[in-house]
Amino acid sequence: MLKAYYHLLLRDLRLALRNRHELANPLIFFVLVVTLFPLAVTPTPDALRAMAPGVIWVSALLAVLLSLDRLFKQDYDDGSLDQLMLSPNPLMILVLAKVSAHWLLTGLPLVIIAPLLGLFMSLPTEAVSVLIYSLLLGTPVLSLVGAIGVSLTVAVNRGGVLLSLIILPLYIPILIFGANAVDVASDGLPVTGQLLFLGAVLALALSLAPLATSVALRITAAR
């Protein structure tokens, strides 16, 4: 069972690495969107600092959302998804493997590049480290919950807007606590509560989302 997880994870990583140019797209999108705000609103450090947590978190949310498509789309189109569902291994494990790969390929790069954006948005140093922690706890939830949405919409033609419509409301708690943690940290206040909440939601998503995703995949395959 662990082997099945490991093999599928490895396959997805290998596939992504052979398409490196696509790999960078969500990342560039993330940086680009954040860059728009100083241009659209104001570049004064104080104003930037005030809106930085929200802007960075919303951009991360959208970057993950745009990348969700590749979670199951290709496998659905070429029939590999059927083979995964006919595996003697529990579908949940395979779903978890695919979600892990997705996070390693999109969530983790976002976390890594976030300090740079903190710099762009004049965030104080202590807030930058909290930004990293909050993204580290929050982005896996985005991948996990997003997987449910993609598996429901992967067979729908032009499902992109539909996907945002059903997934974004579910992302709201992560957005609130993630952005707030950074906000509070930039005032120099403790943020344990917010990070604990994010951790709790991660634990919940980790235990329930793969189950919901595998049910959703079976519904999609039954079409």
Which residues lie near other proteins (CB under 8 A)? Answer: 3-4, 7-8, 11, 14-15, 18-19, 74, 77-80, 82-89, 94, 145, 148, 152-153, 155-156, 159, 162, 165-166, 168-170, 172-173, 176-177, 180, 197, 201, 204, 208, 212, 215-216, 219-223
CB of 29 to other proteins, least distance (A): 22
Residue type, 147: A
Residue whose CB is less far from other proteins, 19 or 125: 19
The region that residue 145 occupies, defined by phi over 0 for left and psi between -120 and 50 for alpha, beta otherwise, is alpha
Residue whose CB is less far from other proteins, 3 or 39: 3
Is 192 strand, coil or helix? helix
Integer-rounded Cα Rg, in Å, for the chain is 18
CB of 164 to other proteins, least distance (A): 9
Is 25 strand, coil or helix? helix
CA distance 103 to 150: 14
CB of 83 to other proteins, least distance (A): 5
CB of 52 to other proteins, least distance (A): 16
Torsion, Cα 11 16 19 25, to 10 degrees, reads 170
CA distance 36 to 91: 41
Residue whose CB is less far from other proteins, 9 or 123: 9
Residue whose CB is less far from other proteins, 28 or 219: 219
CA distances from 172 to 17, 116, 166, 175 (A): 31, 24, 12, 5
Residue whose CB is less far from other proteins, 166 or 206: 166
CB of 109 to other proteins, least distance (A): 20
CB of 166 to other proteins, least distance (A): 4
Whether the CB-CB separation of 174 and 142 falls below 8 Å is answered with yes
Residue whose CB is less far from other proteins, 42 or 83: 83
